[in-house]
Amino acid sequence: MPVPFLDLKKQYASIKSEIDAAVMGVIEECNFIMGPNVAAFEKELAGYLEAPHAVACASGSDALLLALMAVGIKPGDEVVTTPFTFFATAGAIARLGAVPVFADIDERTFNLDAKKAVDKINSKTKAVIAVHLYGQSAEMAPLLAAAGDKKIPVIEDCAQAIGARYENKPVASVGDIGCLSFFPTKNLGCYGDGGALITRNPEIADKLKILRVHGAKPKYFHKFIGINSRLDEIQAAVLRVKLKYVDGWNRRRKEIAAEYDGLFKGARGVSVPYNAPYADHIYHQYAILVDNRDAVLKKLNADKIGAGVYYPEPVHLQECFKYLGYKKGDLPASEEVSSRILSLPIYPEMSGAEVKEVADAVMAAL
């Protein structure tokens, strides 16, 4: 049977009446920008993530940019991060004229190798961005200790990890600023673009609120050079409905991951995701490692099994970053993983039969 990579229509059907009422409520009020739903969502999100401050914005990419702006990143500053992530992480650094400094990943978790990242910190380092990839927290304690000694802010890219925990603490509230994305495919997704920032620091929270509205406070009086990055009321209304369900959806993702693990147990040529002991993985993606990945992907797609590659080329080898001087072989773990990684369908509405169909198709394609 065909199995899609993701089926948002099933999710919508399960909460249709609540979503429709929330959206129509905004339309009837005709208050579309930075209204009561945004304010309420920020409060509810902060409570969910056990942090005092949440600041909504227009996208996860903007959240990264705003976080770097808030901690004062300037041209020439170095920011240590991972090369195995979506482009937006390093792109936000470069947009401010700063220099992305890439440390290699842990081959098991696919996240930043904390020891290698700490080794990259020097007098030019002005921030560290740890990405919680695929729904699993990066190892934060060594980063926080090393950065804290030098008073370097640690930013969490939690675009794929809302609801995940590090040593029983919600990601996004572990470092100095947490950045969230509500892109529709995320575990908590809206019906367009959306993002948010989480912080325990009231001064940073106040600065973020100013930066997202062109740096103005009050209106038309500009304290900083900011950007326009406001969350729409409709998106906030949708997110308020969905936030109530995200823990249940994440639990179902864990169940599906366990089903996959059992089906792949003993299979040759498949490495299932590793769950680090410090992390509560919420499986935004179920990412396996296989040899002959491209051939396997082609066969799965031919069989109408949804699968994808996140990410086929590490960031340090992207054409736009040639000026940084990295070459193939510099970050071998990231390069090896990018050549073998394959993400399989995982979403809360998947049936056990669909999970087995995918697993069988993978093993037949090896």
Helices (H), 124-184: 141-149
DSSP 79: E
User: Which sequence positions are flagged as catalytic?
Assistant: 186
In contact, 358 and 345? CB cutoff 8 Å: yes
What contacts 21, CB < 8 A, 6 or more positions away? none
How many other CB atoms sit within 10 Å of the CB of residue 89?
A: 26
Question: Cis link prior to 142 (omega < 30° from 0)?
Answer: no
What contacts 249, CB < 8 A, 6 or more positions away? 11, 187, 348
CA distance 251 to 281: 10
How many other CB atoms sit within 10 Å of the CB of residue 95?
A: 15
What contacts 109, CB < 8 A, 6 or more positions away? 133, 136, 138, 139, 274, 276, 279
